[in-house]
Chain A
């Protein structure tokens, strides 16, 4: 499998989670909330564009709405390869953690204090 970069992974995940509502503004909000830091638009567009070029997501335009100054939204949608890639990422995470001794950073920190 080809590895995704961490931003790509996050974005792919966001697109899947947001489903029909996955467009740049909501993706940005979602990712920012998830990671706890504000993502710039550029940091969204560039990897998202790359994902699209790789064929992991596809996009289509929906009807314009007035709040956007009469401009349409670009909704992103997973493609089968995208889903497969996301699945692989999850499997990788799972298999990475099975059999690893349990630990919790919070517990460790509280022990120390």
Chain B
């Protein structure tokens, strides 16, 4: 046999790869024999080609065979899995339910977090778009605001080549609109420059788009507002009367603003020139911090450099000012901004909190799964012994157990996804979001999901897979194996961890709940119950006196007053304040409000000293100030009443000291406050105190009175109580969510404990029966059985208390007024955990106690 008639080495190697299980020498020999024949007849190249072709041709039958064999094994595995699940119905139920609930929580939180991160990501310029924020230094620290002076935008664009474009934005409160005979109180109006629509991505559907804002008297309208206003008619070219004075033509329709942007929802847009109609608008004032400014940086501009450069720009143009400005990336605003009205927790903090909660819940669910799977798998030692005797290798066992736990986790995942689809609308209502399941349909989310599942499956399946597969069949059959005893230490740790996490979550939920309850019910120093607020526009202010007189004629209207700022948030403040004996070096930012005479009576604000405003004193209208106790304390005078005081550009005297009341949310403390008497021009808000009986009737009556005075303006009111609670809306929602998730976590932990107790009782069935035969009372038995579990829960509490204390006092630090971390909360949480554990034991025991001992003992 000549050397040259041997097939190419590479092909032989390939042949060996291709024929798994058949690649012994005789088979290779078969190929070589035919190869030699063909090579002799038709030459080596052809023979090589023939061989390669035949190797390829042999692949399908081998593959089919391999799959067939695997399928046979798989069928067996599947059958055994199914039988096991049916045999341990309770455990399987607990396993799948626990995992599914855990996954549901985890997925909902993931959806929520994904949604929180989607804010302002849809702008095409998002990477170069920044908001200008302002640091105002004062004696009480730096005030962080987002309102900027009107000339800032133009100056930034002119002075810095890195800044390509700027735009200004002004939000407007309620403005009456009228078109034909339809009128509407528009609360979502903004005034912008045309560049606004270049910087932000808010697409247009109809009409001319942003360019039309260059022509005066043109307005833009949102799709939904156009529909509600004009129905099916074409809105383009329609004339809308704004504030009963100005006529604007609709020139464009834009798509409804998505909810996931930091910019407040707007439905009606007017050009910047609208501000020129306002006599208070000073286009060149550097002291008027009222407008949002956004900038677009050039492609190559560095954010940090620009930030350094523009820092002192206001000080250059307005000598004496100490204001600094900074840029803030647009995509950070929703979650990470410090420049907000309420200084509570930022969005990102909630994202962290919920991420931790999600991980905790998933851990609890996984621990459950691990615990039960390992516990039950000891009962399967015999199966393992049998399989091993019949030739299963350790690898087979690992594949089997991991496969089983994977099957269960994916079953749970499927269940979880179905349930999520069902409850998502409720969840959206709860969180005030518009999340769809579709946000899970991208490859990151899918990889994440499958990853979480594989992780859970591996963690849960690894222990039986690795530990049980090491059993020696001989030991199994000779019963050398100590069932359950050997590794119960591991399970003990898992149960303790589970309960620690549950107790932490319970404590957290109670603290959050009681803090929010405290905030809601705290005496804030003024009465917000049965108080109605109405916003007045410029035109309506003139008619305030008539409105008030008409309203007061109604028997159930107790009082009517007006003010410049809404009592839930006094936003105007100034440092141009002076009093007798004030240290001129000291800068004090005093919050101010201009009110009508009845303000104190209507809101039931108490006086500590002096007298309220009164029409009896003619000087009160311009020269009287009421200050709060905080400011009185700062004045360091024995009695500030009668002291000279200047504020709002007025000179006057202090006539009285009000008891401190909250004019912001409880996140911040009470600052110094001064109030004076305002006049018609300042009445932005009318406050009406009504009798608590038959409120709907009263409201209808007010509406009638309103229609008589303002026939074309719709009556829009709000309850101050709701307004007040709006400050706490994010916390309220988070609080509720935390409660729900904590509840679910406890539920999962309970499921696990029920599973474990029932397993432990089953293991000790004979012991229980013998004790019973010998006359043990049920109480005795519960004590004996429960002792161990109680010890576990006790240890869990010891771990949980300090951790919970640490975490929750950190959260409470965000509130200026807060509850203490009382011992009751801890005791109650622990009591809850104990109660749950005990009832699990009792529940399981009672099932066992009613059975006949003979049934359990007869076996041997």
Q: CA–CA, A84 to B31, complex, Å?
A: 31
> Closest Cβ of chain B: how far from A77's Cβ, in Å?
14
The answer to the question of A4 belonging to the interface, with a C-beta cut-off of 8 Å to chain B, is no
Interface size on A, residues (CB 8 A): 20
Question: Looking at chain B's contact residues, is the secondary structure mostly helix, strand, loop, or mixed?
Answer: helix
When distances are taken between beta carbons in the complex, the residues of chain B under 8 Å from A41 are: 27, 30-31, 54, 57-58
Within B500-514, the residues touching A (CB, 8 Å) are none
Closest residue of chain A to B25, judged by CB? A71
Interchain CB contact under 8 A, B25 and A42: no
Q: CA–CA, A23 to B29, complex, Å?
A: 11
> Closest Cβ of chain A: how far from B650's Cβ, in Å?
102
The answer to the question of B33 belonging to the interface, with a C-beta cut-off of 8 Å to chain A, is yes
The answer to the question of B338 belonging to the interface, with a C-beta cut-off of 8 Å to chain A, is no
From the candidates B28, B54, B64, name the one contacting A69 in the complex (CB within 8 A). Answer: B28
The answer to the question of B36 belonging to the interface, with a C-beta cut-off of 8 Å to chain A, is yes
Closest residue of chain A to B59, judged by CB? A42
Q: Quick one: given A40-B61, A45-B22, are A23 and B30 in contact (CB under 8 Å)?
A: yes
When distances are taken between beta carbons in the complex, the residues of chain A under 8 Å from B29 are: 64, 68-69, 71-73
Q: Which of B25, B36, B60 has the most CB of A within 10 A?
A: B25
Instruction: Map CB proximity to A onto B9-39 as digits: 1 under 8 Å, 0 otherwise.
Output: 0000000000100100111111111101000
Closest residue of chain B to A49, judged by CB? B22
When distances are taken between beta carbons in the complex, the residues of chain B under 8 Å from A18 are: none
Q: Name 21 interchain pairs, CB-CB below 8 A, sorted by A.
A: A23-B30, A24-B27, A25-B30, A25-B34, A40-B54, A40-B57, A40-B61, A43-B58, A46-B62, A46-B64, A49-B65, A61-B26, A64-B29, A67-B33, A68-B33, A69-B28, A69-B29, A69-B36, A71-B25, A72-B25, A73-B26
> Closest Cβ of chain A: how far from B16's Cβ, in Å?
13
The answer to the question of B390 belonging to the interface, with a C-beta cut-off of 8 Å to chain A, is no
When distances are taken between beta carbons in the complex, the residues of chain A under 8 Å from B30 are: 23-25, 41, 68, 73
Instruction: Map CB proximity to B onto A27-59 as digits: 1 under 8 Å, 0 otherwise.
Output: 000000000000011110110010000000000
Within A50-104, the residues touching B (CB, 8 Å) are 61, 64, 66-69, 71-74
Q: Quick one: given A25-B34, A41-B30, are A69 and B61 in contact (CB under 8 Å)?
A: no
Interchain CB contact under 8 A, A71 and B22: no
> Closest Cβ of chain A: how far from B825's Cβ, in Å?
70
Q: CA–CA, A69 to B29, complex, Å?
A: 7
Interchain CB contact under 8 A, A71 and B1: no
Q: CA–CA, A66 to B58, complex, Å?
A: 24
Interchain CB contact under 8 A, A67 and B65: no
Q: CA–CA, A43 to B58, complex, Å?
A: 7
With A40-B54, A69-B29, A71-B29 already in contact, 11 other A-B pairs whose C-beta atoms are closer than 8 Å: A24-B26, A41-B30, A41-B57, A42-B61, A43-B58, A64-B29, A67-B36, A69-B36, A72-B25, A72-B26, A74-B27
Question: Looking at chain A's contact residues, is the secondary structure mostly helix, strand, loop, or mixed?
Answer: helix
> Closest Cβ of chain A: how far from B58's Cβ, in Å?
3
When distances are taken between beta carbons in the complex, the residues of chain A under 8 Å from B62 are: 42, 45-46
Within B218-274, the residues touching A (CB, 8 Å) are none
Q: CA–CA, A72 to B33, complex, Å?
A: 10
When distances are taken between beta carbons in the complex, the residues of chain B under 8 Å from A43 are: 58, 61
The answer to the question of B387 belonging to the interface, with a C-beta cut-off of 8 Å to chain A, is no
> Closest Cβ of chain A: how far from B477's Cβ, in Å?
28
When distances are taken between beta carbons in the complex, the residues of chain B under 8 Å from A68 are: 29-30, 32-33, 36
Interchain CB contact under 8 A, B54 and A25: no
When distances are taken between beta carbons in the complex, the residues of chain A under 8 Å from B346 are: none
Closest residue of chain A to B53, judged by CB? A40
When distances are taken between beta carbons in the complex, the residues of chain B under 8 Å from A24 are: 26-27, 30
When distances are taken between beta carbons in the complex, the residues of chain B under 8 Å from A49 are: 22, 65
> Closest Cβ of chain A: how far from B684's Cβ, in Å?
88
Q: Quick one: given A24-B30, A72-B26, are A42 and B60 in contact (CB under 8 Å)?
A: yes
Q: Quick one: given A46-B64, A66-B1, are A71 and B57 in contact (CB under 8 Å)?
A: no
When distances are taken between beta carbons in the complex, the residues of chain A under 8 Å from B54 are: 40-41
Closest residue of chain B to A47, judged by CB? B61
Closest residue of chain A to B66, judged by CB? A46
Q: Which of A41, A71, A72 has the most CB of B within 10 A?
A: A41
When distances are taken between beta carbons in the complex, the residues of chain A under 8 Å from B28 are: 69, 71
Closest residue of chain A to B19, judged by CB? A45
> Closest Cβ of chain B: how far from A7's Cβ, in Å?
9
Interchain CB contact under 8 A, B1 and A40: no
When distances are taken between beta carbons in the complex, the residues of chain A under 8 Å from B36 are: 67-69
> Closest Cβ of chain A: how far from B30's Cβ, in Å?
4
> Closest Cβ of chain A: how far from B700's Cβ, in Å?
87
> Closest Cβ of chain A: how far from B566's Cβ, in Å?
84
When distances are taken between beta carbons in the complex, the residues of chain A under 8 Å from B33 are: 25, 67-68
When distances are taken between beta carbons in the complex, the residues of chain B under 8 Å from A64 are: 29
Q: CA–CA, A86 to B58, complex, Å?
A: 26
Interchain CB contact under 8 A, B61 and A71: no
Q: CA–CA, A64 to B59, complex, Å?
A: 26
Interchain CB contact under 8 A, A46 and B61: yes
When distances are taken between beta carbons in the complex, the residues of chain B under 8 Å from A61 are: 26
Q: CA–CA, A64 to B64, complex, Å?
A: 31
When distances are taken between beta carbons in the complex, the residues of chain A under 8 Å from B58 are: 40-43, 45
Q: CA–CA, A46 to B64, complex, Å?
A: 9
Q: CA–CA, A23 to B33, complex, Å?
A: 11
Q: CA–CA, A40 to B57, complex, Å?
A: 6
Q: CA–CA, A66 to B33, complex, Å?
A: 9
Closest residue of chain B to A50, judged by CB? B65
Q: CA–CA, A42 to B23, complex, Å?
A: 11
When distances are taken between beta carbons in the complex, the residues of chain B under 8 Å from A67 are: 1, 32-33, 36
Q: CA–CA, A46 to B43, complex, Å?
A: 30
Q: CA–CA, A31 to B27, complex, Å?
A: 18
